[in-house]
Structure 1
């Protein structure tokens, strides 16, 4: 008797399972198709990103290695294209190469490329902060006080490892303008920072003791 009941229960379960698949066949097929599409799409996108990264890498390497006075215009064109790709590795390197080799003299144009890196490129936080600092360095000789502060404020008001560098740049900027009180204020901020770069902190203390001790 118990064996008969067990067989009936088993048959009932099988029937329920069969009915479930029959009644939901379209939904099940649709779900499987969607999962397959997602998996294929994810794999394809990952493969595309890897190939794109390799393409950008090859373009950067070939451009910089073949650079000469005769290829200057092509070098600029290729590097600008890489910057516009907004690649977190090679876009910053392309801009630094242009600056280091003085390929573009137009300051506004260079600043526009800095802005692409800072505002549009997916950079790690401290890499982005380094780009901000480099932009400030690039502009320091010609920038007005307010412009330089606007560039550096994201670092000055942060806990970034580049904060002490930003403060030092502003301190030296004011010192070069013979605005010694403002310069002293920034050097003092560095001296009071617990996590300031040790070399920067040492230079700030030397400047305070040697030139701003009055």
Structure 2
């Protein structure tokens, strides 16, 4: 008797499962198709990104290796194209190559390339902070006080490892302008900063003791 009941229950369950699949056949097929499309799409996108990265890498390497005075214009064109690709690795390297080799003389153009990296490129936070610092360093000789502070404020008001570098740049900027009180204020901030770069902290203390002591 119990065996018969067990058989009946098993048949009932099987019937329910069968009915479920029959009644929801279209939904199940649609779900499976959607999942397959998503998997194929994810694989294709990942493959596209990998191929795109390789393409940018090859373009950067071939461009920089072939660089000479005769290929300067083509080099600049290729490197600017790479910057506009907003690649987290090769876009910054392209800008650094342009600056190091003085391939673009217009400061506004260089700053616009910096802004592409800072504002539009997906970068790790401290890499972005480094680029902000490099932009300030690039502009330091000619920038007005307000402009330089505007560039560096994201670092000065943060806990970034580049904060002490930013403070030191502002301190030296004011010292070069013979604004010693302002310079001293920035050097003092470095002196009390917990995570300041040790070498920068040492240089700040030397400057305070040697040139800015009361």
- Fold similarity call, TM over 0.5: yes
After TM superposition, the structure 1 = structure 2 runs for residues 10-159 of structure 1, keeping only pairs within 5 Å, are 10-159=10-159
The C-alpha deviation readout for 1:60-84, integer Å capped at 9, x for no partner, is 0000000000000000000000000
**Which residue of the partner structure matches residue 181 of structure 1?**
181
Query: Secondary structure in 2 aligned to 1:149?
Result: helix
> Counterparts of 1:31 and 1:211 in 2: how far apart (Å)?
74
The C-alpha deviation readout for 1:95-139, integer Å capped at 9, x for no partner, is 000000000000000000000000000000000000000000000
| TM-score normalised by length of structure 1 | 0.99
| TM-score normalised by length of structure 2 | 0.99
> Counterparts of 1:194 and 1:46 in 2: how far apart (Å)?
42
> Counterparts of 1:72 and 1:65 in 2: how far apart (Å)?
12
**Which residue of the partner structure matches residue 2 of structure 2?**
2
Equivalences, count: 214
> Counterparts of 1:158 and 1:178 in 2: how far apart (Å)?
27
Segments of structure 1 that go 5 or more residues without pairing to the other structure are none
The C-alpha deviation readout for 1:155-192, integer Å capped at 9, x for no partner, is 00000000000000000000000000000000000001
Query: Secondary structure in 1 aligned to 2:155?
Result: helix
Is 1:206 aligned with 2:206?
yes
Structure 1 runs of 4+ with >6 Å offset? none
- What do you get for the CA RMSD once the two structures are aligned? 0.5
* C-alpha displacement of 1:93: 0.3
